[in-house]
Each structure stands twice: as structure tokens, then as C-alpha cells.
């Protein structure tokens, strides 16, 4: 079995992802691993939680899951965030994010 990336951790309800968010990007994209976090760029500005909503929407599209399955656990007003993906195994999350990077 392959080891999981440093930004991915198992959770009793699914999988946790450590994210470094970059708002006001030209496009929504997964920029790759930066240390122990996954860098994700979103076009939305960090105003009135718009960037958080864009991040959740983008991850739900990549992972092919409902937006309600992506929960912000920590970092509501920071660039460094912890998100829970409910009902998905870490290996499945890693595979879908890997596909999105290609």
C-alpha cells in the first residue's frame, strides 16, 4: 500500500485535508503540495467567506461529492485550513486530487 501524502489524514468520518488557500488567483486549480499542505488556488477574493465557499465548491467538483460533504473544520479566516471530506477514504481522495493536477 502506498503511503498517504503529508497533507492527507484519515478521520473517523472520512478524510482530512490540510490546505493552503490562495485567493484571487486567475483560475481555480490544485497547485500541488507545499510542505505538509496542499496548495489550492481559487478565483474568489477573501471577502465575506467567498474564498471559503469557492474552495468548498471546487473540492466538491474535483472529488465528485456533494458540497455538504466538504466541511471547513479550521481556518475560516486564515490561508491555512483543515477540511473534512465526509464519507471518502484517504486513498480515494488522494487519487482524485492527483487526477485533477494532471
Q: Compute the average pLDDT of residues 77-93.
A: 97
Residue 91 has pLDDT above 80, yes or no: yes
1 in any annotated domain: no
2 in any annotated domain: no
* Residue 31: CATH number of its domain: 3.30.1200.10
88 in any annotated domain: yes
Handedness of CA 86, 89, 90, 94 (dihedral sign): negative
Residue 102 has pLDDT above 70, yes or no: no
DSSP string across 22-91: E-S-SS-EEEEEETTEEEEE-SS-SSTTHHHHHHHHHHHHHHTS-GGGEEEEE-TTSSEEEEEEET--HH
**For the chain, how many structural domains are there in total?**
1
Range of the domain at 60: 8-101
The three grid cell numbers given for residue 97, joined into one nine-digit string: 486530487
- Return d(Cα 62, Cα 69) in angstroms, integer: 12
Please tell me the predicted confidence (pLDDT) of residue 1: 45
Q: 17-54: per-residue pLDDT in tens?
A: 999 999 999 999 999 999 999 999 999 999 999 999 99
Looking at the chain, the whole-number percentage of residues with pLDDT higher than 90 is 93
The pTM of this model reads 0.93
85 in any annotated domain: yes
Amino acid at each position: 500500500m502506498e503511503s498517504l501524502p503529508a497533507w492527507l489524514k484519515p478521520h473517523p468520518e472520512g478524510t482530512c485535508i490540510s490546505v493552503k488557500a490562495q485567493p484571487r488567483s486567475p483560475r481555480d486549480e490544485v497547485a500541488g503540495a507545499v510542505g505538509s499542505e496542499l496548495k489550492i488556488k481559487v478565483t474568489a477574493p477573501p471577502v465575506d467567506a467567498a474564498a471559503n465557499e469557492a474552495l468548498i465548491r471546487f473540492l466538491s467538483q474535483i472529488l465528485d461529492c456533494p458540497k455538504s460533504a466538504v466541511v471547513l473544520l479550521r481556518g475560516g479566516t486564515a490561508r491555512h485550513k483543515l477540511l473534512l471530506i465526509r464519507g471518502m477514504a484517504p486513498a480515494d481522495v488522494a487519487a482524485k486530487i492527483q487526477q485533477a493536477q494532471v
